[in-house]
């Protein structure tokens, strides 16, 4: 008899838990809708947990579960402590990349597989940016900023930090294209790859190689600014492949490694 009662209690617990999970997923979806509808930018504050619970008419535990779910995916950051609370997340591309690795690991994908796609996407971004310049749909200010970045690197004004500078140049191109899908996927891939290979670490490459990369950027930037799509794509692919070859030379066998969820 006693065990039947315990069994019923456990079942009740499980039903409660299932109900709460269902509610928290619904709340999570509603929070994402709220962020999207209002075009809230990363770092924007969201309602505190208690106010959210009141708004949705649910317990705080359900709201907390919803926020934790979104935090795991980088859509929400939770500031702890006094004056803390939920904010719109600022690492969604990184988290999205990490989620991708959970799926890639069992599939046996290697870092080389992943980088091949990243290279193609960079070529595509350069091609599209140049095409937009040609079609006069590109924002001239963004194009000017991209060209300025490529020259600033050469002038060595920016502490020759390849991570910051190199990524900034590639980010400028993505900004011109301004495609949420391409932008998210390419930065997610870039994040996963550089996290696991240290490809953005300037100390990995000697001065000569780094200077070559910076010259590549200037040429790519100029091709985009001229609106020469085919040339911009070709230069970008050559640049990405050269950078990959330099990485393989610096760390032989590294890109044979499987993509692991870390």
Footprint on this chain of Zn ion (rule: CB under 5 A): 166
Q: How far apart are CA 153 and CA 161, in angstroms?
A: 9
**Residue nearer to Zn ion on the CB measure, 77 or 127:** 127
CB 130, min distance to Zn ion, A: 16
Could you give the 3-state DSSP secondary structure of residue 257?
coil
CB 226, min distance to Zn ion, A: 19
Residue with smallest beta-carbon separation from Zn ion: 166
Distances (CA, A) of 105 to 23, 93, 102, 111, 194: 31, 18, 6, 10, 17
**Residue nearer to Zn ion on the CB measure, 166 or 221:** 166
CB 63, min distance to Zn ion, A: 43
**Residue nearer to Zn ion on the CB measure, 52 or 246:** 246
Three-state secondary structure readout of 94-157: HHHHHHHHHHHHHHCCEHHHHHHHHHHHHHHHHHHHHHHHHCCCCCHHHHHHHHHHHHHHHHCC
Q: How far apart are CA 216 and CA 238, in angstroms?
A: 9
CB 244, min distance to Zn ion, A: 11
CB 89, min distance to Zn ion, A: 27
Q: How far apart are CA 133 and CA 140, in angstroms?
A: 8
**Residue nearer to Zn ion on the CB measure, 75 or 232:** 232
CB 191, min distance to Zn ion, A: 15
CB 56 within 8 A of CB 26: no
**Residue nearer to Zn ion on the CB measure, 123 or 166:** 166
**Residue nearer to Zn ion on the CB measure, 166 or 190:** 166
Q: Which tokens in the block code for residue 225?
A: 């600014």
Q: How far apart are CA 23 and CA 34, in angstroms?
A: 16
């Amino acid at each position: 008899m006693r065990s039947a009662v315990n069994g019923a209690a456990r079942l009740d617990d499980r039903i409660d838990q299932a109900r709460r999970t269902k509610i928290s997923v619904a709340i999570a979806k509603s929070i994402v809708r709220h962020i999207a509808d209002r075009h809230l930018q990363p770092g924007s504050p969201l309602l505190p947990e208690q106010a959210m619970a009141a708004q949705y008419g649910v317990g705080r535990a359900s709201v907390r579960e919803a926020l934790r779910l979104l935090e795991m995916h980088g859509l929400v950051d939770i500031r702890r402590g006094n004056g803390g609370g939920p904010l719109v997340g600022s690492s969604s591309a990184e988290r999205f990349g990490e989620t991708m690795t959970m799926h890639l690991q069992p599939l046996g994908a290697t870092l080389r597989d992943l980088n091949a796609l990243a290279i193609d996407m960079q070529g595509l971004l350069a091609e599209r940016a140049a095409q937009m310049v040609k079609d006069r749909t590109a924002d001239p200010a963004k194009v000017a900023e991209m060209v300025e970045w490529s020259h600033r690197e050469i002038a060595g004004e920016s502490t020759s930090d390849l991570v910051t500078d190199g990524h900034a140049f590639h980010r400028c191109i993505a900004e011109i294209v301004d495609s949420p899908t391409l932008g998210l996927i390419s930065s997610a891939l870039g994040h996963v790859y550089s996290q696991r290979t240290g490809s953005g670490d300037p100390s990995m490459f000697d001065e000569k190689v780094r200077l070559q990369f910076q010259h590549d950027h200037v040429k790519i930037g100029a091709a985009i600014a001229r609106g020469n799509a085919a040339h911009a794509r070709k230069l970008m692919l050559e640049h990405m492949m050269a950078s990959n070859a330099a990485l393989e030379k610096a760390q032989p066998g590294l890109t044979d490694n499987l993509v692991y969820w870390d």
